[in-house]
Amino acid sequence: MLLPFICCKKNSGATPDPEPPVTPPVIKPQVDPPLANTIGFFMDDWQPRTFTSPAYTDITIPAAASHTVTIDYSDVITKIPRSLFGNNANTWMTQMVTEPGLMTDIKNLRPHIIRFPGGSISDIFFWNSQPGVPPVDAPASLLNAAGASAAAGYWFGKNNAGWTLSVDNYYSMLQQTGNQGIITVNYGYARYGTSADPVAAAAHLAADWVRYDNGRTKYWEVGNENFGDWEAGYRINLADNHDGQPEYLSGQLYGQHFKVFADSMRKAAAAAGKTIRIGAVTVEAASPAWATATHRNWNTGMLGAVGNSADFFVIHSYYTPFNTNSNATDILNSATTETKKNIDFVINALQTAGTAAKPVVLDEWNIFAAGSKQQVSHINGLHADLLLGELMKNKYGMACRWDLANGWDTGNDHGMFNNGDEPDGVPKWNPRPVFYHMYYFQKFLGDRLLSSSVTNTADIVSYASSFSSGDLGVALINKSGSDKIIQLDIKNFIPGSRYYWYTLTGGSDNGEFSRKVYINGVTSTYASGGPQDYMTIKANSAVTANGMRVRVPSRSAVFVAVDHK
């Protein structure tokens, strides 16, 4: 009989050979570098940040990229101090706490640090005096640089008029908006005071403020731009002086006086069981040709006299040439060149003087460009993005933008908000484009700065950061006049399912210097500023599985966040 045919295929019925194992990617862990001396104690209140995925709109991404931004998640440049995003209040912007819209925007912005009482006014400001009642040893008139006498024009901390800001309402504003302060005490009084010992009188006035403050403020500085011939006390009337001071201030004399101030202020803090940090005024760059001898020799004299008694060194920079109609390219380029140049100059001055490296504070910054409404423009917002990134990269300890509100002056206005004098029906306290840039820069910013690089172009600048929650953020700024398509290549990182972004562009209303900013295509209903509903605008989003590509339009910023797996 015939037997059934039986297949004799080898291993028939056996378990198939297993697929070769998938080797998981090797992820190099992050290691925090040593803390830079130029940051120092400003890292004391560092906090980890957690990324929360925003509401989003799905977007079709570009098919191909023109450039790649490579980010190494494991390569930490520095932890990011929260104090880099500060601003300046001043004494002519109302009592602030009476302005609910302004207060809400400041709270949302989270500057963390707000300086007071503001610029050169600090050297003619009597914090505990009633209006029109300066100390009896404060002369009625002061000398300017040319030697002409003019009314002193003092300002007073107990002035409760609606147009000005009192000391008490400054403190209330900080408390209500969740920020802390840096206070500039009146150094000029140590020069122009008419008592037998004006330095002791001015130092005592500063120490009294420390006592009144009672630990609410960690950071203090003695004077404002005292090297400048525009500052009260630069030149004094010798007939009014009774302790033998010279007519013109020098860095060495300031340094000697600084130590008297610092000693009095620290004793006042210690008596209340508090610790404060005190900064010294420092020149930020090589003196220009027009500079006085005081300016040229300031750092050498100041550092020689101060020694190690200063806790930090204070500089100011306005980046572009004074009162010059600078173009957009020059403005944007200044953010990268000047930020590094300034801190390198200070570090070199400290080394030359044999002074220990200390934190560096840029507590006034903006641009001097004028004539085309540059200061109120979207381009100034892009400049702020670049500057913030460079502050992190160059390891500054603190920075405060000048200022929250100022004066229109045909558009040559440093104010972040309209102080009520902007034309075209723009309402008081309407935020300018820089507000939105600084808000969104921080929205997708983590707590550690990472290394990043861009291929084949200098037009795109990138600043990458990591969140302690494991996610990633990156700011992409396009300085050029043409769109770019950017591919993100992230090393030592496993992305989650989605990435998100906000695109900030200008309008066509004022040539290069649009007064408006568009957030994902949404802008203001007014002639300037951005959308009123900026807190609820949806992010753009796409899945990471198809690659992470974004269009960065000409002269724009794109803020990206990537989920982690």
* CATH no., domain 82-443: 3.20.20.80
What's CA 46's distance to the chain center, in Å?
A: 16
* CB neighbour list of residue 379: distance below 8 Å, 6 or more residues apart: 328, 331, 332, 506, 512, 513, 514, 555
d(CA 309, CA 329): 41
* CB neighbour list of residue 237: distance below 8 Å, 6 or more residues apart: 139, 142, 143, 149, 192
Angle at 377 (CA atoms; ends 375, 380), nearest 5 degrees:
65
What does pTM read for this prediction?
0.95
* CB neighbour list of residue 535: distance below 8 Å, 6 or more residues apart: 108
Topology annotation, domain 51-79+448-564: Immunoglobulin-like (2.60.40)
* CB neighbour list of residue 136: distance below 8 Å, 6 or more residues apart: none
Question: If you ran DSSP here, which 8-state letter would residue 431 be given?
Answer: B
Going from N- to C-terminal start, the domains of the chain cover 51-79+448-564, 82-443
Q: What is the pLDDT of residue 4?
A: 37
CB 489 within 8 A of CB 544: no
CB 472 within 8 A of CB 561: yes
CB 534 within 8 A of CB 475: no
Same fold, 51-79+448-564 and 82-443: no
pLDDT (tens digit, 9 = 90+) per residue, 243-301? 999 999 999 999 999 999 999 999 999 999 999 999 999 999 999 999 999 999 999 99
User: What does each of the 565 residues of the chain score in pLDDT, given as a tens digit?
Assistant: 333 333 333 344 455 566 666 666 789 999 999 999 999 999 999 999 999 999 999 999 999 999 999 999 999 999 999 999 999 999 999 999 999 999 999 999 999 999 999 999 999 999 999 999 999 999 999 999 999 999 999 999 999 999 999 999 999 999 999 999 999 999 999 999 999 999 999 999 999 999 999 999 999 999 999 999 999 999 999 999 999 999 999 999 999 999 999 999 999 999 999 999 999 999 999 999 999 999 999 999 999 999 999 999 999 999 999 999 999 999 999 999 999 999 999 999 999 999 999 999 999 999 999 999 999 999 999 999 999 999 999 999 999 999 999 999 999 999 999 999 999 999 999 999 999 999 999 999 999 999 999 999 999 999 999 999 999 999 999 999 999 999 999 999 999 999 999 999 999 999 999 999 999 999 999 999 999 999 999 999 999 999 999 999 999 999 999 999 9
CB 451 within 8 A of CB 463: no
Q: What is the pLDDT of residue 11?
A: 44
Angle at 47 (CA atoms; ends 214, 108), nearest 5 degrees:
80
505 phi and psi angles, rounded to 5 deg:
-125, 160
* CB neighbour list of residue 293: distance below 8 Å, 6 or more residues apart: 248
Number of H-type helices and E-type strands within the chain = 10, 23
pLDDT (tens digit, 9 = 90+) per residue, 391-402? 999 999 999 999
Write out the two tokens for 218. Answer: 């960690």
For residue 403, cis peptide bond before it (omega within 30 degrees of 0): yes
d(CA 148, CA 234): 13
Angle at 79 (CA atoms; ends 400, 41), nearest 5 degrees:
60
Q: What is the pLDDT of residue 411?
A: 98
Name the residue among 3, 27, 134, 38 with its Cα closest to residue 492.
27
Question: If you ran DSSP here, which 8-state letter would residue 249 be given?
Answer: -
CB 251 within 8 A of CB 302: yes
Q: What is the pLDDT of residue 16?
A: 58
Question: If you ran DSSP here, which 8-state letter would residue 51 be given?
Answer: -
d(CA 213, CA 171): 9
d(CA 93, CA 191): 28
Name the residue among 330, 311, 309, 310 with its Cα closest to residue 321.
330
d(CA 477, CA 463): 9
